[in-house]
Amino acid sequence: MAFKQGLEQKLEQIQNKKMAQKQTISIKVAGAAGQGVESGGQGISKALRRGGLHLFGVSDYMSLIKGGHNFFQITLSNEAVYAHTEKFHLFISFDPQNVEDTLSHIRELHEGAGFIVDADTALKPEITATLQEVGANLFAMPLSKLAADLGGSKIMMNTVALGGVAGLMKLPFEKLEGVIRENFGKKSNEIAEKNIAVAKAGYEYAIQNYASQFKFSLPYNLQMGDKMLINGNEAIAMGSYTAGCRFISAYPMTPGTSVFEWFTKRNAQLGVVTKHTEDEIAALCMAIGAAQAGARSMTTTSGGGFCLMVEALGLAGMTEVPVVVVNAMRGGPSTGLPTRTEQADLLFAINASHGEFPKIVLTPGTIEQCYDAGVRAHNLAEKYQVPVIILTDQLLAGQVRDTDLSAFYTPEIDRGKFISKEQLDKLEGEYLRFAFTEDGVSPRALQGHPKTVHAPATDEHDETGHITETADNRIKMMNKRMHKLEVARSEMKGPEFYGPENADLTMIVWGSTYGAAREAVDLFNRDEKNKEKINLLHFYEVWPFPTKAAEEALKKTKFTISVEQNYTSQFARLLKVETSHDVKVKINKYDGRPLAPEEICVHVQNVLKQAQLATA
């Protein structure tokens, strides 16, 4: 189902209901690539967060380096917040002359919202007209003038604008000041101070001139304390590192690259070998080589690069080498929408590579789960001696949300049946790399010790690793390898509910869709009529499929719909084959833009209406 088709009206109805406790303010910073949208958005986010607000931030960008049109969206709240919103309250544009995009943003402004632009810009009449139409205020601030006068350069007009935002949001100025000092202080103190001066000017200008017109506000929670604003990819990287990952080889591909760059930037500090390879084939092959040697290893990519890795994935499966692959999905097929989000690689990842071998697929949905997935991926990989895929996506890779430091726990490193050097010294008898065992997992000793000489083959092999084609051995080895999948299945985490028990309708979601669906649960149920109407069931460890837990959970549902960012409802298909459960309705979005909670609510309302009609 495509979105935004005659749904605006219903959307309004939902939004106009009073939302009891949870209040949100949404801000959008827009401009051309290279104009500082991303850094500005991140900066003001940090300041507002430190003020004591919950915050969700995500950027929308085109596949180009300069020009075009990007934006950064911030949702602020007095409660935890997990997604962007469709409508927003404050809009800062650095390229208001881009009429088409500007208008489309303005149309999404709430009544009473504000639009900050440089007073020097001569706005096109359509823009002012539309502003009036939606009932939003024009805050034409002297951005470039203040920047030039006080900072000595128009370049600082972004900072003036951020000051304006802080002013309208009534954020204590020292919060913004702190962030600016941290960000620019590295370059030079002078630059930092100039930026602070212009920010302050913007701050005061906004308070004096517009505060009375901007009626939205949130209570700052001064007790909130430290929270991280870290994105999904950084969380995966940090989880991997804390779980002992010491080798990462990769080839750049949006949106997988930032996992790699987290390591490259810190390679000396962390003692991690990072290798930018010539392609994705080499990326995974090197990681496998390092893993065979004994290092916890990983690679990261996106769909197209993952395609090139599937042969080597089978190598890892066949020779039982623990290795972690991050596939950060983006809009496909092929080059597709390189900077946009999608969840369309699920069945490809699960079935990737020819032949059959065990692999594990994790699909985290939040920043915390990204960290956890990083940790678990490396532990599970080594415990079961299998490749583990972390399937994330552009939306999760780049989003930030105020995150507890404690969620990034100190992991236990579980190396499974790893035989240490000391144990080897005492070993009697021949070491069999692929010994048949009850759980299919063979004790793993590294090459480099006089007692462990062996040479695994990607051909079918016997317990020593030597090539053999006999039918008997083949059957035993297949059983051994595939049995690991069954053992691992029992420790895959089952799905989790969010929202009221006994809801009339349960949304089945996986991966990053959790965020928007969770907000939709809150938004929808907050309407008095809808109290406890909907909840969600979120899957975040999907292969081997946690069938039992899924079946238990499904028993607690009445009417299920799947909500996925893809065309073919891949998760619903998987659920069907694994549990025989047929979701009643499938909601799909595949335009590369992340689902918004309001949008989901509209779908849900339609579904409920139709379902009631159908049973009437």
Partner 1 sequence: MVITQEKTQVTVKDFKTDQKSTWCPGCGDFGILSAVQTALINAGIAPWQVMLVGGIGCGSKLPDYIRANGYMTLHGRASSIASGFHLANTDLVTIAISGDGDGFGIGIGHLVHNMRRNMDIVHIIENNEVYGLTKGQYSPTSKRGFKTSTSPEGAIEFAINPLSLAVSAGATFVGRSYSGDPKHAAEIIKLAIEHKGYALVEILQTCPTYNKGQNNDWYKAQTYKIKEENPNYDETNMLHAFELALKDDGRYPMGVLYHNTERPSYTEQVPALQQNKTALINHSLELKADLFEQLKKSYV
Ligand X SMILES: Cc1ncc(C[n+]2csc(CCOP(=O)(O)OP(=O)(O)O)c2C)c(N)n1
Q: Where along the sequence are the contacts to a copy of itself (CB under 8 A)?
A: 2, 62-63, 281, 302-304, 306-308, 310-311, 314-315, 317-319, 327, 329, 331-338, 340, 342, 344-345, 347-348, 350-357, 457-460, 469, 471-472, 474-475, 478-479, 482, 566-568, 573, 576-577, 580, 582, 590-593
The span from the CA of 128 to the CA of 125, in Å, is 5
The span from the CA of 78 to the CA of 84, in Å, is 15
Site for partner 1 in 90-129 (CB under 8 A): none
Q: Residue 217 CB, nearest distance to a copy of itself (Å)?
A: 32
Candidates 435, 417, 445; CA nearest to 473 is: 435
Residue 20 binding: pick among partner 1, ligand SF4, ligand X, none (C-beta 5-8 Å cut-off by kind):
none
In the chain, the amino acid numbered 573 is: R
The span from the CA of 359 to the CA of 322, in Å, is 10
**Per-residue binder mask for partner 1 (CB under 8 A), 453-492, x = binder:** xxxxxxx------xx-------------------------
Question: What are the residues facing 324 on neighbouring strands?
Answer: 298, 388
293 is a site residue for partner 1 (CB under 8 A): yes
Token pair of 290 as six digits: 């390092």
20 exposed, middle or buried (CB, 10 Å; 0-12, 13-18, 19+)?
exposed
Candidates 296, 314, 229, 310; CA nearest to 49 is: 229
249 is a site residue for partner 1 (CB under 8 A): yes
**Which single residue is written with the structure tokens 């109407």?**
533
Q: Residue 280 CB, nearest distance to ligand X (Å)?
A: 6
Q: Residue 467 CB, nearest distance to partner 1 (Å)?
A: 5
CB atoms near residue 143 (< 10 Å): 29
Nearer to a copy of itself by Cβ, of 263 and 545: the residue is: 545
In the chain, the amino acid numbered 294 is: G
DSSP 143-198: HHHHIIIIISSGGGHHHHHHHHHHHHTT--HHHHHHHHHHHHHTT-HHHHHHHHHH
Residue 455 binding: pick among ligand X, partner 1, ligand SF4, none (C-beta 5-8 Å cut-off by kind):
partner 1
Residue 345 binding: pick among a copy of itself, ligand X, partner 1, none (C-beta 5-8 Å cut-off by kind):
a copy of itself
Nearer to ligand SF4 by Cβ, of 18 and 66: the residue is: 66
Residue 135 binding: pick among ligand SF4, a copy of itself, partner 1, none (C-beta 5-8 Å cut-off by kind):
none
Which residue is closest to ligand X by CB? 253
Residue 437 binding: pick among partner 1, ligand X, ligand SF4, none (C-beta 5-8 Å cut-off by kind):
none
Q: Residue 513 CB, nearest distance to partner 1 (Å)?
A: 24
Residue 115 binding: pick among ligand X, a copy of itself, partner 1, none (C-beta 5-8 Å cut-off by kind):
none
Site for partner 1 in 300-329 (CB under 8 A): 304, 311-312, 315, 319
Q: Which of 2, 5, 16, 65 binds ligand SF4 (CB under 6 A)?
A: 65
* Sequence-separated contacts (24+) of 608-612 with Cβ below 8 Å: 608/504, 608/505, 608/533, 611/505, 611/559, 611/584, 611/585
* Sequence-separated contacts (24+) of 8-13 with Cβ below 8 Å: 10/602, 10/605, 10/606, 11/86, 11/598, 11/599, 11/601, 11/602
Q: Residue 544 CB, nearest distance to a copy of itself (Å)?
A: 11
By CB under 8 A, how many residues form the interface with partner 1?
A: 87
360 half-sphere exposure, CB direction, 13 A CA radius: 35
In the chain, the amino acid numbered 370 is: C
The span from the CA of 81 to the CA of 73, in Å, is 13
- Positive or negative: CA dihedral 145, 147, 153, 158: negative
Nearer to partner 1 by Cβ, of 383 and 589: the residue is: 383
Instruction: Tell me if 561 sits within 8 A of 339, measured CB to CB.
Output: no
Residue 246 binding: pick among ligand SF4, ligand X, partner 1, none (C-beta 5-8 Å cut-off by kind):
partner 1
**Per-residue binder mask for partner 1 (CB under 8 A), 28-47, x = binder:** ------x-------------
Nearer to a copy of itself by Cβ, of 195 and 302: the residue is: 302
296 is a site residue for partner 1 (CB under 8 A): yes
Residues that bind ligand SF4 (CB under 6 A): 65-66
